[in-house]
Amino acid sequence: MHVPSSIANQSDTARVHDGASVAASAMLGDFVVAYAGADVGEQCRVLGFTQLWPGVRLEAGAELGPGVTFEAPLPGEHAAIVVGPQARVGAGALICRGVRLGLGAVVTAGAVVTQDVPPHAVVSGSPARITDYVRNDTGAPAMAWHQRATFPQEPSVVPLGVGGVTLHRFKFLQDPRGDLSVGEFDREIPFLPKRYFLVMNVPSDKTRGEHAHRQCHQFLVCVKGSCAVVVDDLDQRCEVQLDSPDLGVYLPPMTWGIQYKYSSDAVLLVFASDYYAADDYIRDYDQFVAEKRTAISQEQA
């Protein structure tokens, strides 16, 4: 954001109380107040009219538009609000007590955030819901894949540009007595399944998945209704809309996967190359970042 020079790096109307921690490279705009126990990281920017309560922590590179309000702490407690690294909060947004915004998350202007926001997610509205993910450092939307590339109409396999993830179109036979979609394992789908599961009755505002597998391959088909699948290899994210039973997405191991925007009638069919093993799951994104970086550096070594 461009800010007039008169208010950088710290406006003379801003106030930093004793006991507040504000990094030297941070910028505080007009009428910003940092109370004891607030913590503002390097390169953060707070544009104006914001009270940073005890327990509010802005991590490095976080940006807050004008008029952002944090809910005040309860008596004898800290507000315990965290704005993650590189997260951006739009003008006039409200962040409730106890909320944590993940790495690179985006809150659009005017949103009322009552729940945690996952890394790279974009939220908007009141109460705020996830509407998209951020593709990469350019800030482009992950759901823009449909604009960037041609959806295959004929049976074929298309890489999504995120690690080894592929999008599959299968044969679909239309018939007055009923339609038929067919897929073959070890031929079209690159493994033999040991397990399948069906996901259904997912509320439209819920997000599922949010994990990676260390060893297990997965293949997703939305056999009824529709849902959106976001895949993430650390470097890139991509969102595809599965809205036809002859579309599938293949997730190799060490791919972070998210499913959301389920239609009310959606049934998601998942094939897995292995039986269930609890220790194959990575459910913490920081842990995924760490293991994926190790894996990449080993590949490159």
Near a copy of itself in 103-132, by CB under 8 A: 109-110, 112, 114, 125-127
CB–CB of 46/58 below 8 Å? yes
Shortest Cβ 56–a copy of itself spacing (Å): 11
| Token couple for 131 | 């509407």
The reply on whether position 203 binds a copy of itself by CB under 8 A is yes
The reply on whether position 144 binds a copy of itself by CB under 8 A is no
Q: Which stretch binds a copy of itself (CB under 8 A): 27-35, 140-148, 153-161, 290-298?
A: 27-35
The reply on whether position 176 binds a copy of itself by CB under 8 A is yes
* 275 versus 300: smaller Cβ distance to a copy of itself: 275
> Which among 2, 17, 120, 211 is annotated as catalytic?
211
Q: Binders of a copy of itself: how many residues, by CB under 8 A? A: 84
The reply on whether position 36 binds a copy of itself by CB under 8 A is yes
Q: Which stretch binds a copy of itself (CB under 8 A): 34-42, 141-149, 161-169, 292-300?
A: 34-42
| Token couple for 105 | 């998350």
- The span from the CA of 242 to the CA of 231, in Å, is 13
User: Which listed residue (10, 181, 236, 263) binds a copy of itself by CB under 8 A?
Assistant: 181
CB–CB of 167/152 below 8 Å? yes
Residues in the chain: 301
**168-173 long-range contacts, CB within 8 A, separation 24+:** 168/247, 168/248, 168/249, 168/250, 169/246, 169/247, 170/246, 170/247, 170/248, 171/246, 172/244, 172/245, 172/246
* Helix or strand run (H / E) with residue 293: helix 285-300
The reply on whether position 54 binds a copy of itself by CB under 8 A is yes
User: Which listed residue (65, 85, 102, 257) binds a copy of itself by CB under 8 A?
Assistant: 65
Shortest Cβ 180–a copy of itself spacing (Å): 6
CA dihedral 172, 142, 160, 220 (to 10 degrees): -50
The reply on whether position 37 binds a copy of itself by CB under 8 A is yes
User: Which listed residue (103, 157, 223, 289) binds a copy of itself by CB under 8 A?
Assistant: 223
Annotated catalytic, 211? Answer: yes
The reply on whether position 177 binds a copy of itself by CB under 8 A is yes
The reply on whether position 72 binds a copy of itself by CB under 8 A is yes
Torsional class of 261: left (φ above 0), alpha (ψ -120 to 50), beta (otherwise): left
* 138 versus 187: smaller Cβ distance to a copy of itself: 187
CB–CB of 161/238 below 8 Å? yes
User: Which residues participate in catalysis according to the annotation?
Assistant: 211
